[in-house]
Structure formats: structure tokens, C-alpha cells
Amino acid sequence: EYAKRIGNKEIRLEKLNANYVSDPYYNFIKAEILLHWALVHTKFDKKIKAGNEIYEAYKLLETNKKLYPNFIDNNKSLSVIHILAESVPKWVRKLIGVKGSSSLGSSEIKLIADYSIKNKDHFFREEVAAIYSYILYYQLNKKKEAINTFDQFGIDISDSPLLTFLKAS
């Protein structure tokens, strides 16, 4: 499946590039494609490829942040990159130019989590809840707060295998 589908990434990115629009979702969607593929590459032990795609996504999201500072959905993915950046050795971060920290990533995910809690129709609501609970539990060691996240969001986790897994674990 991996070999069969790897070409789809470039096809999708080329279609996006051919249809440029001045819209915050343009760079955001490209970054999402790269991040999802980075996860797939990691699964198949292609760490260099995954790292390159994370870096490309990071650049797109940082550009988006400058162009559209009020585009809150950008925080969903950027928060993860900023938190993960802290686990990379400082010399590597400096070499590739990625900036980040737990405090920066935490403030970004908290901002979009608060938005998602208030806006029940937010498109990325479940994904934000998953990321937020994971960061609270594993990165910030706020275990009780993480466990209560799904109640705070008012999400029925029984419809989502990912959220059920996160709450159970």
C-alpha cells in the first residue's frame, strides 16, 4: 500500500500549486499533506524523509502564521511541531532553523482548544481534542486535566477509535 500510494502526495501537492489562492487554507492544506506523509514515512522507518517533510510543513505553517495571524487552525499543526522541536538536540534545531518549545506549543494548542470547546461545529474539533489531551498527558504531565479533556469538549468518544484509545491509555 505504501509503495502504491506514495505518488499520490506529489499529485495532490501539484494540483494545489497549480491552483494557488490567497487563502489561509492554501499553505495549511499543503502542510497537512506533508505532516500526514511524515507520519507514514516514520512508520516505514524513513526518518530522513519524514524529517524533511516536517521541516517543509513547518516553513509553510510559519509563513501562514505571518500572512494570516488570526487563522486559528494553523495552531493545530504548528503546536505539535513546536513541542516536538524541543525533543530535538539544540544544535540540530539551530542548524535547520526550527524554533519551538513546550511552552510555545502548549499556548498554541490551548488557544485552538478553547476555540473548539466554544465552537461545537469546528471542523478540526476531534483532532484538536486528541492533540490537546496527548500534549497535556505526555508532554506537560497534566494527567487529570488530560483525562477530563473529552468531557470538556463534550465529545462522545465511542464514535472515534482514536479518542477511545487516547482516553483508555
Return the pLDDT at 86: 81
3-state SS class at 154: coil
Measure Cα distances from 28 to 35, 71, 160 in Å: 10, 10, 24
pLDDT digits (tens, 9 = 90+) for 123-132: 999 999 999 9
The cell numbers describing 39, all together, are 507520519
Return the pLDDT at 22: 86
pLDDT exceeds cutoff 80 at 88: no
Mean pLDDT of 141-150: 91
pLDDT digits (tens, 9 = 90+) for 130-139: 999 999 998 8
pLDDT exceeds cutoff 90 at 32: yes
Whole-angstrom distance, CA of residue 96 vs CA of residue 82: 14
